[in-house]
Structure 1
Amino acid sequence: MIDDTKQGGARRASLGRGLSALFGEATEDYSALDKVRQSKQVPIEFVHPGKYQPRRKFDEEAISGLVESIRDKGILQPLLVRRDAEDANSYELIAGERRWRAAQIAGLHEVPVIIRDLSDREALEIALIENIQRQDLTPLEEAEGYRRLMEEFEHTQEDLARAVGKSRSHVANMMRLLALPDPVKSMVQDGALTAGHARALLTAPDPAAAAREVVSRGLNVRQTEDLMRGDQPKAKKGKAANDGSGTAPAMKDVDLINLEEEISARIGLKVAINPQGQRGTITIHYQTLDQLDDVLHRLGGEE
């Protein structure tokens, strides 16, 4: 015989748990609930910047323009957040901090969010990728993001390059900027120097003094590279080279030199890349016929 009282009690208890889940009581598994939510409105004060936000500098003029758009149309793209590990009713921003800042200025009381269950590493990867795609990061912010992924989450440069959709040489070149002295970093952060300028300055005996000279003289990247080699910066176009050939040699930038080194490391032979406008040549230097045979086998796809 079935005890209807117990059966009904079980139904009521089950229903009670379902209602508490709907109303979001603290005893429920928030992660499980978040997985079935696509987007929701939350009080703006419940959202706070993420600890893995790579951006340190926000364009106030751009935010002002966004404020007017939000006042007129609202926030069209939800913010990406995750639950705060220490407060179940609080959300940590992963992507969309500029929209969140503009929404505060616009006087919004609620913002749309998409909640995801993300690890710390995933949070930093997504925040970094989102900002890189929007070209919102300064070179140093990008470099610092790469450094954190490598040091805190044990990424290799190749893993990191795949994760953010960049070449390994790009990641390596950006991270080299972190070796610059603070005065030069400030110039890069403020936009007085580009990443190309900064990479050229890495070879200077006194990068800070060289950076000040570059800025005061208004030198471009190629002129800065000339300065670092001890040459007097000047326009190369139409000037004859000192070797009597009658034409000036093409100047290689730091990225091209690094690419030569990367290819050389991969095949074990010296490689020279000679750009000629949009075209160019790649020269592979070998010293024995065995080395030549090995290169031919690789080009032919043979192991």
Structure 2
Amino acid sequence: MIPVLEIGGTHVTAALVSPRTAAVATRVRRPLDARARAEDILGAVLRCARALPATPAGARWGVAVPGPFDYATGIALFADVGKFESLYGVDVRKALLDGLPGSPSGIAFRNDAHAFLAGEWAAGAARGHTRAVGITLGTGVGSAFLADGTLHTTGPGLPPEGRMDLARIDGIPLEEVVSRRAILARYGTAADGGGGPGPGDGAGAGVDVREIAERARAGEERARRVLGAAFGALGAELGPRLAAFGATALVVGGSMADSWDLVAPPLTTALAAGGWRPDAGTPDSAEPPPGSRRLVRALLGEDAGLIGAAAAAGGAG
């Protein structure tokens, strides 16, 4: 069994993953405050790892963590991203090696979006696809581009460093258009009559994206307009990139994918307008027909990132 950690903006998960079956055997999940002091963040991560039963002695751990991060050295580079900024410049590798249970032999760090797509390709929604792209929608926008099982950071259609968070829409950083904070800001502005952020009539105050989605389902035009604009903008930016990359699958995960009924329609329309028209329906088998293009919701949830982290630790990705 391979021990792994997945560190996110609101929680950390420790797990044991079977490299043979790509299955998560045991897990412990704990809340995490990404705005806390460095010692508190690292302490929470280590307490979660120590709660994992039967950790193999001398194991090499896999750790999925968002960027910006130096994955080769284990140095955190978070700045101006609204999370983990107290860790900037911290040697996370050393901190974990000194505190993880079982006297680990090493740590393999992996970008969390890369781990997500690697897991979905091994056992989830991207299985059977030669060229796949993964997008995670939550506090930010994560991305990964995979061809023949290998993750790419350069090539036709790819944004700088293979990171969609570095892409720009009409000169504006993509995460200022499509992310939790962008949607909340846009909804607050809409609630204020479009004149600028503010409490306005109170309709945009104190809500989160999940509640905005509920309001959209209930027929609130403001909520539907804001969500449609965000996911439409994402599709318009992604469509030409997917076509240039030759992707046969776009797999969408993250917390916002829970509102798939609201994400998929504007995303599909904008992808098609951008030159990448998804086929109707979802694949019934692991072997997609030649030339198919599938827009699919992630199948494995959190397991995808855990499986991808284990693959990195096991030397398979």
Give the structure with the higher percent helix.
1
TM-score, with length taken from structure 2: 0.29
Max Rg structure? 1
Relative to its length, the structure with more strand (as a share) is: 2
TM-score by length of 1: 0.30
Asked which structure has the greater RCO (Cα within 8 Å, sep 6+), the reply is 2
